[in-house]
Amino acid sequence: MAGAARLMQAIRIRDTKQPFDRLVRFNWPGQFIVIFAGMLVSFLIAGLWFPYWRIADMDMFVVYNALLLNAHLPQEYVAHPAYLPILLLSYWLRALHAIGLIPIDSFDGVPPIGNQGAFAAAWTPATQAGRVLSLITAMAIVAAFMYLLRALVRDWRIAGFGGFLLAFSGGMAMEMRAMRPELLAAGLFMIALLMLLIAAKRGERPWRPAVVGIASLLITLGMQSKVQVFFLICFLPILLLPFGPDATAKANVQAGFWHARKAWAAVAAAALATAVAVYLAKDLLSLGFAPTDHADVGLLPLRVSAATYWSLLAAWLAFGMAAYCLMWRVAALEGLVAALAAVAGCMIGLLALYARLQPDNAIVVFHPLETMLSWASASDPRLTAGHSLFDPARIQFLMHAIAGVIARRTFILHSSPRPTIFLEWFVIAATFIAARRRQWQLVACVAALMLTDWGVDLLDMGRRLQEGYFLFTDPLTIIAAALLIAGLTDLQQRRWTYPVGIALVVAHIVVSQAEPIKHALRSDGPQVLCNEGYLIFYRRLGWPPFCPPRPQSQQSSAATAPSQFD
């Protein structure tokens, strides 16, 4: 206890009467300690000790496929495609097994599922190891978010408060204790977005195109986790266009680099790197855009090919980059090198698919719209009704989706375990204040973030805006709030600042923990694994003995399916 008291004394900041400072009771290192401690306590109370079947979707699928990879068997779950989380878990299980912390790291060592005791004793530690990896990943994402947000707003207090809001957002609260691909996908995209926003605010720098390349690489890796990142990529020009250089960046002494002759060396290096990256990834490009008739994943065809809509997206991104360069007077050579870096980063990111090449993973990554449509239509058949884009069933779905997004913003008409909705109320109110003060660039930046938030949520209504999808847009709201707090500095000193901030803190803690506690109180048994929609994703295990007998038709078809004993 004495050690804890000394630690608290070391990380606390001095007493202050300033309202916003009273919300941030710890110094910069202390912010990380307190936030990570809160995440760990929440994880230990509701998460680590869940039975292996408690969050079957996707804990069972990810562990199963990671064990397959370590047994040199092909990945079977490639639905969206969850490739990167499965690959990372396979390496993590190997490492833990090597030091004796878990009994198995390969499918070869899994006991028959008919021996329920032995199976649970082997599978549970692997599942817990995966959940620990999710917690570590979540902490790393929160830490990166805080550091980058601090660089963006230049205020560690706001960055620390934003990190807390992310750590205790509804999506993060569940993702950090389960093995779902949204965690890595959304985390990689938001890290890339913050890097791009910082580069935009810093103005002309020799290193800015390199940041664009790294961001492109991270976004490509995010696509290999969950193809819903495609929607966020489409919004990138809208997100970045309002973020121009700040006043201090315009006086930067390095501003002449891209106007000097030495910039041509950077152009040549970027062109060479891009050519090499495209050459190394050419086989993946051919595989990804090849006909999908032979694929083992269900893809609903569109009226346009994947090559066509990817070309349109590339043109849209190029147009956005050109518009940004014209609007903010970016040097032509810097814009050219940035475009080359974006292509090179994307190609280098694709090379990760070679780590454990599975053709279906490449096909899913290159066909995100077909993949998402197949899943969304299973949730709502109206999406594939009729042959016209303006079919009455589709129009009805769109109207219901818009109404659903609006209702969720009220929290009263449609409640959800998403406390960031309350933060959105603050963002809307503060944006009106900024508009009244004619801070139009700040208003434009916030509007771009929030329109992207609502637009992506609308698109995700095709899957009824599941809790995991909150992570794709909640960080946008937090970034918008951070910009407003930093830009409207007098709001930090208002009398109502402290009570509003405390209300947000309490709401995030209470609302975000509702779903984890609900899962902890469940009393279901392993019979949840008998769901027909689940069984097809771990068929090598065989038919679980606690499930009802298989129908005769399934028994005959199972003769040709691989099993644990093949």
Same domain, 62 and 206: no
Query: Would 356 be classed as within a structural domain?
Result: yes
Query: Would 525 be classed as within a structural domain?
Result: no
State if pTM tops 0.85: yes
Q: What is the C-alpha to C-alpha distance for residues 555 and 563, in angstroms, rounded to an integer? A: 13
Query: Would 19 be classed as within a structural domain?
Result: no
Instruction: List the pLDDT tens digit at each of the 566 positions of the chain.
Output: 566 666 666 666 656 677 888 888 888 999 999 999 999 999 999 989 999 999 888 899 999 999 999 999 999 888 889 999 999 999 999 999 999 999 999 999 999 998 989 999 999 999 999 999 999 999 999 999 999 999 999 999 999 999 999 999 999 999 999 999 999 999 999 999 999 999 999 988 999 999 999 999 999 999 999 999 999 999 999 999 999 998 666 555 455 888 888 899 999 999 999 999 999 999 999 999 988 776 677 788 888 889 999 999 999 999 999 999 999 999 999 999 999 999 999 999 999 999 999 999 999 999 999 888 888 877 777 777 666 666 777 788 888 889 989 999 999 988 888 999 999 999 999 999 999 999 999 999 999 999 999 999 988 887 777 888 899 999 999 999 999 999 999 888 888 889 999 999 999 999 999 999 998 898 888 888 888 878 888 889 888 888 888 765 555 444 444 444 33
Q: What is the C-alpha to C-alpha distance for residues 218 and 399, in angstroms, rounded to an integer? A: 34
- How many domains is the chain partitioned into structurally? 3
Query: Would 175 be classed as within a structural domain?
Result: yes
Q: What is the C-alpha to C-alpha distance for residues 564 and 108, in angstroms, rounded to an integer? A: 8
Relative orientation angle of helices 306-327 and 332-350, to the nearest 10 degrees: 150
Place of tokens 């609007």: 327
Same domain, 373 and 398: no
Query: CB–CB of 121/127 below 8 Å?
Result: no
What DSSP string runs through 199-232?
A: HHHH-S-TTHHHHHHHHHHHHHHHHTTBTTHHHH
Same domain, 447 and 425: yes
Which of 458, 474, 493 is the C-terminal boundary of a domain? 493
Burial state string for 50-89 with b = 16 or more CB within 10 A and e = fewer than 16: bbbbbbbbbbbbbbbbbbbbbeebebbbbbbbbbbbbbbb
- C-alpha radius of gyration, the chain, whole number: 25
pLDDT value at position 563? 41
Query: Would 536 be classed as within a structural domain?
Result: no
DSSP 251: G
Token pair recorded at residue 563? 């099993």
Query: CB–CB of 82/58 below 8 Å?
Result: yes
Query: CB–CB of 26/13 below 8 Å?
Result: yes
Q: Which residues contact 97 (CB under 8 A, 6 or more apart)?
A: 103, 104, 105
Same domain, 108 and 165: yes
Same domain, 160 and 224: no
Strands of 45-143 (E only): list them.
Answer: none
Same domain, 30 and 164: yes
Query: Would 169 be classed as within a structural domain?
Result: yes
* CA nearest neighbour of 445 among 215, 196, 231, 255: 196
Same domain, 322 and 440: no
Same domain, 170 and 275: no
Query: Would 263 be classed as within a structural domain?
Result: yes
Backbone phi, psi, residue 81, to 5° = -95, -5
Which of 146, 180, 214 is the C-terminal boundary of a domain? 180
Backbone phi, psi, residue 181, to 5° = -70, -15
pLDDT value at position 156? 94
Reduced to 3 states (helix: H, G, I; strand: E, B; else coil), residue 274 is: helix
Place of tokens 């008919």: 114
* CA nearest neighbour of 430 among 476, 475, 487: 487
Same domain, 312 and 361: yes
Same domain, 156 and 297: no
What DSSP string runs through 328-391?
A: TT--HHHHHHHHHHHHHHHHHHHGGGGGG--HHHHHHHH-HHHHHHHHHHHH-GGGG-SSSTT-
Which of 446, 475, 493 is the C-terminal boundary of a domain? 493
Digit-coded pLDDT (tens) for 354-366? 999 999 999 999 9
Query: Would 553 be classed as within a structural domain?
Result: no
Q: Long-range contacts: 458-463, Cβ < 8 Å, 24+?
A: 458/401, 458/402, 458/405, 459/231, 460/228, 460/231, 461/400, 461/401, 461/404, 461/405, 462/372, 462/373, 462/375, 462/376, 462/379, 462/380, 462/383, 462/401, 463/372, 463/375, 463/376, 463/379
* Beta-bridge mates of residue 81: 226
pLDDT value at position 135? 97
Q: What is the C-alpha to C-alpha distance for residues 521 and 175, in angstroms, rounded to an integer? A: 18
pLDDT value at position 565? 31
Q: What is the C-alpha to C-alpha distance for residues 543 and 288, in angstroms, rounded to an integer? A: 34
From residue 454, alpha-carbon distances to 163, 257, 297, 404, 474 in Å are 21, 39, 30, 11, 10
Range of the domain at 221: 190-379
pLDDT value at position 559? 41
Same domain, 273 and 413: no
Same domain, 279 and 399: no
DSSP 243: -
